A = this chain, B = another copy of it.
Amino acid sequence: MLSERKIMVLHAIVDDYIRSAEPVGSRTIARRYNLGVSPATIRNEMADLEEIGYIIQPHISAGRIPSDKGYRFYVDVLMEPWVIPEQQRSDIQRRMETHKHEIELLVQEVSKLLSVLTNYVAVVLAPQIDLCMLERVQLMALDDYRVLVILVLHPGLVQNRIIRMPVKYDPEALPKISRQLTKRLQGVTYRDLRATLIKEIQGDYGELGSALLEVIASELADTKQEKVFLSGAISIFEQPEFRDLERAKGLLSLLEQKETVSNLINTLSRYSGVQVTIGRENPIEEIHECSVVTSTYSIGGEVIGAIGVIGPTRMEYANTYSVVEMLADSISEILSELIK
């Protein structure tokens, strides 16, 4: 549909604009990317490209910039994958390995890496326990009143909570109740745990057991909000498009709403593989001038979290794409290794 030359012109415009953040004029293209034609010819091509909506003229006496549609074409068709140098790859691997012992540290490290490697805002959603299935329940006596409840969830995540019984209890009874609970609750997702517990209160756990269940159920937070790790929020100030304070403020205040960010990344990474969402394709108005590159990561094949990068639509798509892809893969690998 597009002539070879139009594609080359579009490619040149996108590349140049990503690099310089300045509207690209016909003369610049003729000079810098030698297409073998004069500026006048390029002007004609640009007029056509504008007509079909791939590029935009901010004002009449300026060059052109890509539209969302133009970026989309670039990402889908033109972009050449960027290969991360082996050296850097192993650096990254090494830095992640260092933190593999504690999931939160690992996730935080990934977030830092993402922002450093891309120079955009990085978002990492910590492994989501909501849909994890319970593998084991263990109750442990701490003292006359307090009990430590340990919940081991399927792909190797552990939750614990100290609860306080209203009356003294018999520590001897705990192992049996633990076994019973494990049997009953195995396979229940964390999300459904509370409801299930409430049903089970009527079960044959004895007086202590029922009391325990009641306390545990009441102590479990109703909805467990997903943890979000942000890095590089400051980097938006490096982008000329956020030199305008109002716009920067808009994005920053969005980023402070962890839940919104978490929902956003979850929504955008719905499909497997790396997803690129450009400008107005985004569901949130505040980032209609941003693009988001996301991917999911998994433990042992189960998708359990997501990572993403938020930057201006004028983003280094190729580079960002590769980095997101690689980090998502790495984190999956390391986490999966842990539970083997």
Contacts and interface: CB of A to CB of B under 8 A. Distances in A.
A150 B142 contact: no
Contacts of A278: none
Nearest to A145: B340
**Copies per complex of this chain:** 2
A252 B236 CA distance: 11
Contact of A160 (B99, B160, B220): B160
A221 interface: yes
Contacts of A150: 140, 148, 150, 160
A160 B158 contact: yes
Interface in A78-115: 99, 101-102, 105
Nearest to A246: B237
Interface string A63-77: 000000000000000
A221 B103 CA distance: 12
Interface in A228-251: 231-234, 237, 243, 245, 249
Q: Is the interface of A mostly helix, strand, loop or mixed?
A: mixed
A221 B109 CA distance: 14
Nearest to A218: B101
Contacts of A164: 338, 340
A206 interface: no
A194 to B, nearest CB: 12
A234 B252 contact: yes
B221 A161 contact: no
A256 interface: yes
Nearest to A149: B158
A128 interface: no
Interface string A128-146: 0000000010101010001
Given A102-B161, A148-B158, A162-B158, A237 B232 contact: no
Given A221-B105, A234-B253, A162 B338 contact: yes
A156 interface: yes
Given A232-B256, A245-B245, 13 more contacts: A101-B221, A102-B161, A142-B152, A146-B339, A148-B158, A150-B150, A158-B162, A160-B160, A164-B340, A231-B256, A233-B252, A234-B249, A237-B249
